[in-house]
Amino acid sequence: MVTAVGARPVAGGRAVSAAALPTAQVLRDLEVTADGLSAEEAARRLKRWGPNAVHSHRARAWLVLWHQLRSPLLGLLLAAAVVSYFVGERSDAVIIGVIVALSVGLGFVNEFRAEKTAQSLHAKIRHRAVVLRDGRPQEVEVTALVPGDVVELRLGDIVPADLRLLATAGLECSESVLTGESLPVAKDTAAVPAGTPLADLTGCALMGTVVHCGSGRGVVVATGAEAEFGKIAAGLSGHQLETEFQVGLRRFSMLLVYVAGALTTSIFIINVILHKPLIDALLFSLAIAVGITPQLLPAVVSTSLAAGSRRMSRRKVLVKRLVCIEDLGDVDVLFTDKTGTLTQGRIDFMRAVPVAGTSAEEVLRLGLLCTETDVDDRGRPVGGNPLDDALWDSPAAAAQRSSLSGWTRTGILPFDHERRMVSVTVTDTAGDAVLITKGAPEAVLERCEQVPGPTRHALEAEFAAGNRVVAVASRPAETGTAPAAADEHNLRLAGLLVFLDPPKPDAAEALKRLDALGITVKIVTGDNPAVAAKVCQDLGLADAAVLTGTDLDAMDDERLTTAIGRTTVFARVSPEHKARIVRIQRKTGGDVAFLGDGVNDALALHAADVGISVDSATDVAKDAADVILLEKDLGVLADGVAEGRRIFANTIKYVLMGTSSNFGNMFSAAGASLFLPFLPMLPSQILLNNLLYDTSQLAIPTDEVDEEQVRRPAHWDIAFIRRFMICFGPISSLFDFVTFAVMLGVFHADAAQFHTGWFVESLATQTLVVFAIRTRRVPFWRSRPSLPLTLTALGVVALGAALPATPLAPVLGFQLLPTGFFAAVAAMVVVYLILVEFAKRIFYRTAGAPARPRPAPGHRHLRRRAARFSTLTRLPHPRASAADDGALGGHGHSWSTSSPTTRGASPVSARPPKG
């Protein structure tokens, strides 16, 4: 079945149909075995069916151009210009068209350049899945999956396609992104009745859902836009999810629409009542409306983000989406895992501590055998956890590998965070079955028949030293049986495996920097409370309050909300605990970041506003993260937060300057229209003024930001912007009216000279006010602007003053101004900036703290999840087809790879997409 972009999922999709079939029939119909496809066949299917993606992140020039052209005011202005051209005012119409084209072109160039930066950024991201190819496990790109691939699923994985499950071991999937249900769904391999709803497809793991616990294996039955998740994601806009920053931009735009609509209508009516030419009045009103609209705001934001991503890249920070930089700036609470973030992350196996009667070699051998991961051709585990990797990489393990050749693993009970252990059954060289259990010492020891006192003392000493410890135990088992949780009892303790993961030398300083940025840091770890407390002590957090997972289980959400505020360390917590902590903190307001590097951090990374990981993290953690620290330096996170806040601060500068001065200009135009027998300024001059002003503001992303502006998160406050506009707009208008008085009363200006004088004065005041509004400090003395901003602002003012003396003056309707006028303008600009400075101090003293609205989440997590199923190549638009509604075989329909396209065709046999 294929659905059109934007269509609702059609009942009877491939996952639904496959879930109703026995697994053997699904494999037969896909012409694949349980050992997966060959690499050659996978390549052929990929070529035929295209990538496993729901949208393309290619930068599209036409879409960026449409963003520049979609303003209805701009369309009305161009329409009016065309009308004026045909009624005889051709020169003005041509000038308006040229200026609009330059303005659109300027915005297009800058925004498209930022889109290309985002494309390059996205192309660096790799999401992988473990599949069986040529009968052995290997990692491939998620977008390279094809129908028929056999995929391995482990804790924290995002299911990479719609899978018909072939084997499960305690597998549960969180499907809230698809069904809205918060509770995970238990999975098995049994067929379900035909037509079963998505929420009840226990025999399938669906694309975009998260493995909540356990493990499994499944065969791909649908990829890309044909998967259930893909149908929904493909119907959304190709843009990324809206952040709080983008929601603020949209609300701000609506504010301008209301203001522009009211004032433009008033100005047009006034001019018509005063019997001014209808076309001129319409063009003037529309030009004023376009003038108040900060047309280059998207370009300013995009340029800021692109420049920010380049700066962060130089600091070895990779953001998966440009808007992640803004998200970082909003963070005020950071939950961080201990391992790999506060500690060095390079876990080293130190020693085996045997109990009496057992050797260190035996403890090590049992620890190597007790793993739930598969082993590749080199004898290395594929996709293992960091502790297993450290154990297998140790010199002591290398000496033991030869002794493992006679042992055979016959069953696995995967690790889960309720039991906190993994168990396997193996047969030794004599053919006897043995159950081996490895996991958290507290969990393993309570299942052992006897624990010697010296072992308990040794365990306490290791915890006190901050070392990580895993206990290993065993007992005889029945031959040919798979282990179950009920079998984990009456164990014989073999000993302890001790690992070293010391704190990073620079972690304490990084925590201080984050604290200076107003970010509260809390540690969330699965480690023993004593180990976590030792790390906190080493990092200067000696008085940190500690809660354990057991404590959390005894609290409802209301009590936990209160407890989170006074707790610094959460120890022995499960992935579900971590995600719950993050979700509850998000409900209290403020943006929450989670920093982790392990498989058990994936759920919390998905739940946070910003997921952060490190380059040395597991693939699952890096896949779930929005931001990746390419170097093991926690200080770069503080750089990223400061960068996000710097971008926001610079964007707000443009907004505040544009709205206040443009509002003032519109107010001035409305007032001038009441007493002037001519238009205060020609429409082409208004647009030229706006173009020059906006050009000067493109340097704002380079500007310096005061230290106090990055000390705490800043957020959109439309009420604040409205108050600022109402306060500072009239100040701008006051000096406009002074200019009018000077031009008419002192220089006795005619219409052309009046137009020229107001053009020069308004351009100078609204451009130079940037130096006052860009900071709350005294400009130049206590806060210096960047050199590019200074040069562009002064250059634009100089150009505006020089235009009346150039050959373009007659074309633009300008006239030479008397020398005395420039002296008057200079004096007015100085007085204006001084008055703005005083008003600024009064305004900020009475403005109060900005409000913090929290947008509705909407499709936030769905779009964020969809970002991983993205490709640079252009994707075809899937088409709805009645012939596809019965897809996925059943009732005699075949999934043959060679059959023609028919009703009931398989994902392998249906018509391949073009392009």
* Choice among 337, 609, 619, 884 that is catalytic: 337
Neighbours of 401 (CB within 10 A): 12
CA 752/CA 757 separation, integer angstroms: 9
Number of H helices, E strands in the chain: 33, 23
d(CA 242, CA 230): 19
Reading the block at residue 348, the tokens are 């080293």
For residue 374, CA distances in Å to 146, 377, 380, 597 come to 22, 10, 8, 21
Residue 187, token pair as written in the block: 């999975």
Identify whether the C-beta of residue 408 lies closer than 8 Å to the C-beta of residue 429: no
Rounded to 5 degrees, what angle do the CA atoms 678, 684, 690 make? 110
CA 85 from chain centre, in angstroms, equals 48
Q: For 227, what's the count of Cα atoms within 13 Å in the CB-facing half-sphere?
A: 32
Q: Is the dihedral of CA 556, 559, 565, 566 positive or negative?
A: negative
- 131 forms bridges with which residues in the sheet? 138, 151
Q: Which amino acid is at 897?
A: T
- Distance, CA of 355 to CA of 373 (rounded, Å): 27
CA angle 101, 323, 110 (to 5 degrees): 20
Q: How far apart are CA 110 and CA 495, in angstroms?
A: 63
| Residue recorded with tokens 């000279």 | 753
Handedness of CA 786, 789, 792, 793 (dihedral sign): negative
Type of residue at 385: N
Q: In sequence order, which residues have a C-beta less than 8 Å from that of residue 784 and are 6 or more positions away?
A: 704
Return all residues near 135 (Cβ < 8 A) that are at least 6 apart: 35, 36
In 197-355 the beta strands, taken as DSSP E runs, fall at: 204-205, 210-222, 317-319, 331-336, 348-354
Among all chains, which residue has been given the structure tokens 């900020």?
844
The Cα 204–Cα 681 span in angstroms is: 68
- Neighbour-count burial of 61, counting CB atoms closer than 10 A to its CB (0-12 exposed, 13-18 middle, 19+ buried): exposed
For residue 147, with 0-12 CB atoms within 10 Å meaning exposed, 13-18 middle and 19 or more buried, which class applies? buried
The region, left, alpha or beta by phi > 0 then psi within -120 to 50, assigned to residue 168 is beta
**Residue 31 to residue 42: CA distance in whole angstroms:** 12
Cβ-Cβ contacts under 8 Å for 694 (sequence gap 6 or more):
103, 106, 294, 295, 296
For residue 631, CA distances in Å to 454, 611, 615, 626, 638 come to 41, 16, 7, 16, 13
- CA dist., res. 117 & res. 303, Å (int): 10
> Which residues lie across from 614 on neighbouring strands?
629
Is 615 one of the annotated active-site residues of the chain? no
Q: Are 580 and 552 in contact (CB under 8 A)?
A: yes
Nearest to 440 by CA among 489, 473, 396, 464: 473
The CB density around residue 542, as the number of other CB atoms within 10 Å, is: 9
Catalytic residue IDs? 337
